[in-house]
Amino acid sequence: MTEGHADRGERRGKVTITEIAREAGVSVPTVSRVVNGRSDVAPGTRARVEDLLHRHGYRRRTATTSRTRAALLDLVFNDLDSPWAVEIIRGVEEVAHAAGIGTVVSAIHNRSGDARQWMTNLRARASDGVVLVTSVLEPVLHEELRRLGVPLVVIDPAGSPALDVPTVGATNWAGGMAATEHLLRLGHRRIGFVAGPPRLLCSRARLDGYRAALDRAGIAVDASLIVPGDFYQESGFTGCNALLDLAEPPTALFAASDQMAMGAVETLRRRGLRVPEDMSVVGFDDLPEVRWSAPPLTTVRQPLAEMGKLAVRTVLKLTRGEELDSPRVELATELVVRSSTAPVPAGRRGAGV
């Protein structure tokens, strides 16, 4: 257990470290150092050894050969501060629990210090696989995990992931388009958009879906109607205020997260405006809470628990050395129409609030 993945692979894998060493023309301890991610290996040697390890599918043997110890899976978030985290945990835990695997939940706060600490812990507990949720630290962690031979699956990648990292996401672009088209069908022409963090791919995809829907409807995108946000409530509150302060405010608002939509609804309430009579609001996520918000929120459902389940199944396939159907999977989003959207009043078609 405490000897790390290298030794287990060496004892039981089809290709041993000794064979890799022979093929690479280096010593066994050198291969071991590469596998254990130590720094005292010349870059050229490391590259040659890693290539051989990869080609021989070395990492694939770790989990199937370790029947005597308890299996663990690491689920890593940036922050554990949003109700959507619990949705993902629920999905991951359900599949892992049924397979007798413990789900170790961590938060690394986009800080490399926390990530290093986590990596140290992961190494010590010899986790069988990692599911990483939307982190800008993904490239760094990926490199380390590859050295350790621990399979990684990324949920909702922050940036473009390395080609050999499987990802599970949602159809964010299609969701952004569906939300906007719903508002267009209700007669809205000036539609505000509260964006997510631009460094995240999912934010960009939702924004592009919004733009595409307007474009298809022959409506020029008005940059003043797009305001920045960070997915949290307060930015929705602030963003909606900014939109209402425009000379010609929108009649509808699409927020790139449910939490920002909730913040926007609160802005409208404080200004004495009604949802949806004075302004329609659409969110993104479909958190369980928004079914009960006042009013129940029209939103784009992201199947978060299902994304978690699929990520675990993908990690398990990797640990068993099975082929993946596809390294990139996007689960479908779905527009859920509730009570926060309504037709634009006839007298205000084409106008603002």
- By the criterion CB under 8 A, which residues form the site for a second copy? 1-2, 68-72, 74, 80-83, 85-86, 89-90, 93-94, 97-98, 100-107, 114, 117-118, 120-122, 124-126, 233-234, 237, 259, 262-263, 265-266, 269, 275, 288-289, 291-296
Calpha distance 254→190 (Å, rounded): 11
CB 155 → a second copy: shortest distance, Å? 16
Identity of the residue, 187 or 303, whose beta carbon is nearer to a second copy in the bound complex: 303
**Which amino acid is it at 193?**
F
Q: Crossing angle for the helix pair 28-35 and 17-24, nearest 10 degrees?
A: 110
Identity of the residue, 235 or 314, whose beta carbon is nearer to a second copy in the bound complex: 235
Identity of the residue, 111 or 349, whose beta carbon is nearer to a second copy in the bound complex: 111
> At a CB cut-off of 8 Å and minimum separation 6, what does 282 contact?
179, 182, 183, 252, 253, 254, 255, 261, 297, 298, 299, 300, 340, 341
CB 156 → a second copy: shortest distance, Å? 17
**Which amino acid is it at 121?**
N
CB 337 → a second copy: shortest distance, Å? 16
CB 309 → a second copy: shortest distance, Å? 13
CB 264 → a second copy: shortest distance, Å? 10
Identity of the residue, 180 or 233, whose beta carbon is nearer to a second copy in the bound complex: 233
Look up residue 117 and give its two tokens. 């600490």
Identity of the residue, 26 or 96, whose beta carbon is nearer to a second copy in the bound complex: 96
Identity of the residue, 198 or 288, whose beta carbon is nearer to a second copy in the bound complex: 288
Identity of the residue, 208 or 266, whose beta carbon is nearer to a second copy in the bound complex: 266
CB 165 → a second copy: shortest distance, Å? 22
Identity of the residue, 233 or 314, whose beta carbon is nearer to a second copy in the bound complex: 233
With CA atoms as reference, report the closest residue to 233 among 209, 278, 266.
266
Look up residue 309 and give its two tokens. 């389940």
Peptide bond into 295 cis (omega under 30): yes
Between the alpha carbon of residue 81 and those of residues 69, 86, 231, 236, the distances in Å are 32, 9, 11, 16
CB 340 → a second copy: shortest distance, Å? 10
Calpha distance 246→282 (Å, rounded): 20
| Cβ count within 10 A of residue 18 | 12
Identity of the residue, 225 or 262, whose beta carbon is nearer to a second copy in the bound complex: 262
Q: Crossing angle for the helix pair 28-35 and 138-148, nearest 10 degrees?
A: 150
Backbone φ and ψ for 52, nearest 5 degrees, come out as -65, -45
CB 174 → a second copy: shortest distance, Å? 27
Rg (alpha carbons) of the chain, rounded to whole number? 24
Half-sphere exposure of residue 272, counting CA atoms within 13 Å on the CB side?
0
Calpha distance 218→212 (Å, rounded): 10
CB 71 → a second copy: shortest distance, Å? 8
Peptide bond into 276 cis (omega under 30): yes
